[in-house]
Amino acid sequence: MITYSIIVPILPFTIDAIERGRSPNNPGYDPYHSELHDPGGVSKQSGALLALFSVGLIAGSLGFGYLGDRLKHRQGLMLVGILGLIGSTLLFMFSEYYWELLIARFLQGISDACVWTLGMCLISDTFPIEELGTQMGRVMTFHSIGMVAGAPIGAGVDLVLRLFLVERKNNPPEWFKKQNEQRIEESRTATIDSSVPEKKDTVSYWMLLKQHRLLAGMLMAFSNGTLLGVLESTLNVRLASEWGLNSGQIGVVFIAAVAPTFVASPLAGYLADKLGAKVVVIPTWIIGSVATILMGVPNKSTAGGIAPLIILTVIQGFCVAAFLTPVLSEMGHVVQSLNPDGSDDGQGRSYALFNVAFALGGIVGPFLGGYLYKAIGFFWVNVVMGCFLLVCAPYVFVFIGERGKFIVRQKRNEDEPIRSEDTEVYAAKTEMKPMEA
């Protein structure tokens, strides 16, 4: 996410410089502290670049989702993904022409699909379903940190950590067992040793797409991607044209949108684990929709200047992060329901579909935002997006989480196998009888 977010504040100025025939890399010219020559045209071209990232994300997600379900060793492929991300970012950095920017964004999307899809598979492999919301909340927190950290730091740290990656399925299961699980095994369980089974291939993309719970999650991901795409292609232009902000100042405003997610994501994941997804999604979806509409109101003539817009951006950023986080654990619940034997077949595909839905929104959003901004202005862009979220609300509210239940308290099932590719441990309902001589 670092490589994605670092581009947004500088994108309008880079495009504007290229359109004027000036190189953004010219040491004698600073495009990032100048006024935009054609805000409407820049918004449309920014939208095209943001959308092409999503095209690459779709192209990569379906393939990497399939490989995530089939491969026993993912470390090498994840390293290829992060190296591709570094290379495509360098290409973007030294681009002199618009078509070079297009290629770089497409390659960034493919590389991001590899890292993101396989990374979520790794989290699901490591933690039980009852904790998945909390852990995904932590993942989304680091996702947010990546949005403000800067590409050189984030990419370098990520590469080093992946070199020392420890995958659950390739190491002894006792490395990952909690103390209480070890005590259960010692006193109340029977252990069945077996070799690593071959990965089955029974949960297809089509089977997953027939699950309303997963479709609700995909609709949420699509809505989130569309909303972000619209705002990222219009808000930076609005800030530059209405208030005259430069790239650094625009970056600070985007940090204001990201900062609340440090709290929203882990809190939403924890509450989703304890009380169910509906408790988190319904209120944050409604508040986020209203905040999106109101973001179009502030201008340089309103009381408080830019402050009301920043406050609304903070509220909207908090709500969007909160309602998206439970979707990641919802994918795990859907996969679990399709695997009565406790396996994880379809896990990679489910997260690939999440990426595809988000990426489709990332294609629609920038183009929609760019054209609407030029046609009807920033205020009506926000009204359209807020109403879109409200239209999607009924389907999401019905099918996300446990159907018909607003609060669902999660409890660990003692009879459920502790997942491992090497060993399955079952908790016995009754005390084990001593073996006869």
Q: Is residue 233 part of a domain?
A: yes
pLDDT tens across the length of the chain (437 residues): 555 556 666 677 777 777 776 665 555 555 555 566 676 677 778 778 877 888 888 988 888 888 877 776 777 888 888 898 889 888 887 888 888 888 988 998 898 888 888 888 888 777 787 888 888 888 777 766 665 554 444 444 445 555 655 555 555 555 545 544 544 444 344 333 333 344 555 788 899 999 999 999 999 999 999 998 898 888 888 888 888 887 678 877 877 888 888 899 999 999 998 998 999 999 999 999 999 999 999 988 888 889 999 999 999 999 999 999 999 889 888 988 888 877 778 888 898 999 899 989 988 988 898 889 989 999 999 999 999 999 999 999 999 988 777 777 765 544 444 443 333 433 333 343 444 43
Residue 384: predicted pLDDT: 95
Instruction: For residue 403, give the CATH number of its domain.
Output: 1.20.1250.20
The total of structural domains in the chain comes to: 1
Contact 292, 386 (CB under 8 A): yes
Residue 261: predicted pLDDT: 86
Residue 188: predicted pLDDT: 44
Q: Is residue 285 part of a domain?
A: yes
Give me the domain span that covers residue 22.
2-165+214-408
What is the distance between the alpha carbons of residues 153 and 185, in angstroms, rounded to a whole number? 42
Q: Is residue 7 part of a domain?
A: yes
Residue 116: predicted pLDDT: 80
Strand partners, 425: 191, 418
Residue 29: predicted pLDDT: 52
What is the distance between the alpha carbons of residues 14 and 23, in angstroms, rounded to a whole number? 8
Q: Is residue 192 part of a domain?
A: no
Q: Is residue 172 part of a domain?
A: no
Residue 114: predicted pLDDT: 87
Strand partners, 427: 189
- Is the pTM of the predicted complex or chain greater than 0.85? no
Q: Which long-range contacts (CB under 8 A, 24 or more apart) does 168-171 make?
A: 168/122, 168/125, 168/126, 168/420, 168/421, 169/72, 169/125, 169/196, 169/420, 169/421, 169/422, 170/72, 170/73
Q: Is residue 89 part of a domain?
A: yes
Nearest to 288 by CA among 316, 308, 310, 311: 316
Nearest to 352 by CA among 53, 52, 69: 69
Strand partners, 191: 425
CB atoms within 10 A of CB 76: 11
Residue 71: predicted pLDDT: 73
Q: Is residue 283 part of a domain?
A: yes
Q: Is residue 263 part of a domain?
A: yes
